[in-house]
């Protein structure tokens, strides 16, 4: 049964562990993961959906880019966390999700963004869709770096570790986690470079740390050496997502344009959407 779910239906290890607690039957009878499954068997799967325990906030407005019965993708603005902060603040994307679905669905973000990163952020609508989506989503970011990168494309391979004494800051660290960033230059101004970025790994603050390490921090990223005189936040935007639908397998691609504050950094050098 375990191999059937894993290889034929792409169930993750986490989903299989959840099902070991119950919620699985074959031909109406309980079956263990180690038991075989045969052609013609009827396999029934059920997960307990507990609903959302976040405080709904109807005053928030976040555009929805794509939605169906299994998932929703938002265009998250800057200055909005994905999850509520520990101090009980109720202005996160999770609080808007709780309002939108009347606390009937658990908030399960499949992709997360920093508070001041804008763009596409996906949440699954069930335990099963979340498990099937994890690891299948390909994302492209747009960023505006300070200065002019000399190469039109490149790959940054620099391990990243924590800064001692901080739970937030990261740094290049030979003993840190393996991290790989691929980039392509889309436009240059006299002072900034617009980049298209794809991550091979997903470390905390990876894009920000990598470009700061090159001597080209993101515009507005004061945490890593950037300047906020022209933009009040780090200039990073999740612009596109491509993924197979968790159940139909259909390829879905969504995108959102560069936000106005990042466009303003580029002026006439900003490419058309």
pLDDT tens digits, one per residue of 192-209: 999 999 999 999 999 999
What DSSP string describes the chain? -HHIIIIIS---HHHHHHHTTS-EEETTEE--TTS---TT--EEE--------SPP-TT----EEEE-SSEEEEEEPSS--SS--TT----SHHHHHHHHTTT-S--EESS---TT-EEEEEEESSHHHHHHHTTT-EEEEEEEEES--SSSEEEEE--EEEPTT-SS-EEE-TTSB--EEEEEEEEE-SSEEEEEEEESS--TTHHHHHHHHTT-PBTT-GGGT---SS-SS--EEEEEEEEE-TTT--EEEEE-PPPHHHHHHHGGGSPP-
Q: Which domain holds residue 85?
A: 50-134
Given this model, what pLDDT does residue 134 score? 85
Lowest pLDDT segment from 36-50, 59-73, 79-93, 225-239: 36-50
**Is residue 250 included in any domain, yes or no?**
no
pLDDT in tens, 141-168: 999 999 999 999 999 999 999 999 998 9
Write down which residue in 134, 151, 170 finishes a domain.
134
Clarify whether residues 100 and 54 are in a common domain.
yes
Given the residues 3, 91, 114, 228, the one annotated as active site:
114
Clarify whether residues 128 and 143 are in a common domain.
no
Active site residue 68: no
Query: Does the model's pTM come out above 0.95?
Result: no
Given this model, what pLDDT does residue 179 score? 97
pLDDT in tens, 109-128: 998 899 999 999 999 998 88
pLDDT in tens, 63-98: 999 999 999 999 999 999 998 876 667 899 999 999
Q: What percent of the chain has pLDDT over 70?
A: 81
**Is residue 205 included in any domain, yes or no?**
yes
What total of structural domains would you count in the chain?
Answer: 3
Q: What percent of the chain has pLDDT over 90?
A: 64
């Amino acid at each position: 049964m375990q191999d059937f779910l894993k290889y034929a239906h792409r169930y993750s290890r986490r989903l299989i562990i959840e099902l070991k607690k119950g919620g699985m039957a074959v031909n109406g009878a309980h079956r263990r993961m180690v038991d075989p499954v045969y052609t013609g068997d009827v396999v029934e799967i059920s997960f307990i959906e507990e609903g959302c325990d976040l405080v709904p906030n109807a005053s928030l407005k976040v555009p929805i880019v794509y939605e169906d019965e299994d998932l929703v993708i938002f265009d998250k603005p800057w200055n909005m966390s994905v999850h509520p902060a520990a101090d009980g603040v109720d202005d996160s994307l999770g609080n808007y999700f709780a309002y939108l679905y009347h606390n009937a669905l658990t908030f399960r973000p499949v992709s997360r963004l920093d508070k001041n990163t804008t763009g596409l952020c996906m949440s699954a609508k069930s335990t099963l869709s979340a498990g099937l989506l994890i690891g299948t989503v390909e994302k492209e970011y747009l960023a505006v770096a300070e200065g002019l990168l000399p190469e039109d494309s490149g790959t940054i391979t620099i391990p990243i570790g924590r800064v001692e004494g901080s739970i937030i800051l990261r740094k290049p660290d030979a003993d840190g986690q393996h991290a790989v960033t691929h980039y392509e230059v889309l436009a240059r101004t006299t002072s900034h470079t617009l980049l298209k970025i794809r991550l091979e790994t997903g470390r905390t603050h990876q894009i920000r740390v990598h470009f700061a390490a090159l001597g080209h921090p993101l515009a507005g990223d004061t945490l890593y050496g950037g300047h906020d005189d022209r933009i009040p936040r780090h200039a990073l935007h999740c612009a596109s997502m491509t993924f197979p639908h968790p159940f139909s397998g259909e390829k879905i691609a969504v995108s959102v344009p560069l936000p106005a504050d990042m466009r303003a950094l580029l002026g006439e050098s900003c490419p058309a959407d």
